[in-house]
Amino acid sequence: MMKRLALAIGTVVVACSAMAQKSASDGIAEYRAMLQDGNPAELFEAKGEDLWRQKRGPKNASLEQCDLGKGPGVVKGAFVELPRYFADTNKVQDLESRLLTCMETLQGFNAADIAKTPYGKGEQNNVTALATWIAAESRGMKFNLPNSHVAEKTMYEVGKRLFFMRGGSHDFACATCHGEDGKRIRLQDLPNLTKNPGDGAGFAAWPAYRVSNGQMWSMQLRLNDCYRQQRFPYPLFGSDATIALGTYMGVNAKGAESIAPAIKR
């Protein structure tokens, strides 16, 4: 009896110290894994796939001929190679800005108007759903931005400079919060984005569903919100600044596996 009791107490003690050793970030990782089973991003994925095939807009056309970088209509694998250079627009574009181009050229929407639409309204919501589905089609694939065209190399350099550019009321740069390993805000790990943060982190996790506000965010919205946290002016949806930052982070993430669409706090 005594022996069994001692054994039982021993087990409890071992279990407790194991729990104490579990860090807050392990806890949050577990919480995310539990939520991943019922990730509401799936609803946006389904909506995005539907929108891709639907005939819409002034030209009553679908997006099925949209070239996301791997040829018209090729969706699989496109996400992990963006941002990249597109000859038709003579620009480096990320997923969201490329979608705006296709919505304008194929469907007749006004891209500038959509970019200006406040977040969470009208066609902006459709862009987010489309981005969620397109990202999901590359789930498990590794980032491999081309970074070979001179425009892509320029955008990478611009993105790097922007990442380290300090300013605003708090003299913050992206690097202030994302420039070292092991930093945290409000218990959230802040990935070091000056190098490859690893599978499913940083650039490889967005679009993501945010439990804290019940919203689906594409990378464009993530970056615009980080600029807000940095106390900088709103850079605008699809701005060259956000695309340059995306190029910098995307190239740095080479070889990291995409888990997008992820689920976040």
172 sits near ligand HEC (criterion: CB under 6 A)? yes
Nearer to ligand HEC, 201 or 216 (CB): 201
Q: Which of the stretches 14-22, 58-66, 135-143, 182-190 binds ligand HEC when contact is defined by CB under 6 A?
A: 182-190
Cα angle value 218/85/76 (rounded, 5°): 55
Q: Which of 39, 62, 105, 176 binds ligand HEC (CB under 6 A)?
A: 176
Least distance to ligand HEC, CB of residue 166, Å: 9
Least distance to ligand HEC, CB of residue 260, Å: 10
From CA 132, how far away is CA 79, in angstroms rounded? 10
Q: C-alpha 142: how far from its chain's center?
A: 14
Place of tokens 């200006």: 116
155 sits near ligand HEC (criterion: CB under 6 A)? no
Nearer to ligand HEC, 154 or 176 (CB): 176
Cα angle value 54/211/177 (rounded, 5°): 105
Q: Which of 86, 203, 209, 217 binds ligand HEC (CB under 6 A)?
A: 203
Least distance to ligand HEC, CB of residue 85, Å: 20
Least distance to ligand HEC, CB of residue 205, Å: 4
Contact predicate 155/93, CB 8 Å: no
- Number of Cβ within 10 Å of residue 112's Cβ equals 10
Site string for ligand HEC, 213-232 (x = CB under 6 A): ---------xx--xx-xx--
CB-facing half-sphere around the CA of 238: CA atoms within 13 A: 22
**Nearest C-alpha neighbor of 103 from the set 237, 261, 247:** 237
From CA 223, how far away is CA 245, in angstroms rounded? 9
- Number of Cβ within 10 Å of residue 265's Cβ equals 14
107 sits near ligand HEC (criterion: CB under 6 A)? no
Task: Locate 16 and state its tokens.
Answer: 């407790």
Greatest alpha-carbon span in the chain? 82
Nearer to ligand HEC, 129 or 245 (CB): 245
Site string for ligand HEC, 183-202 (x = CB under 6 A): --x--x-xx-x-------xx
Task: Locate 40 and state its tokens.
Answer: 């509401």
Q: Which of 151, 177, 211, 236 binds ligand HEC (CB under 6 A)?
A: 177
Residues that bind ligand HEC (CB under 6 A): 172, 174, 176-178, 185, 188, 190-191, 193, 201-203, 205, 222-223, 226-227, 229-230, 245, 249, 264-265
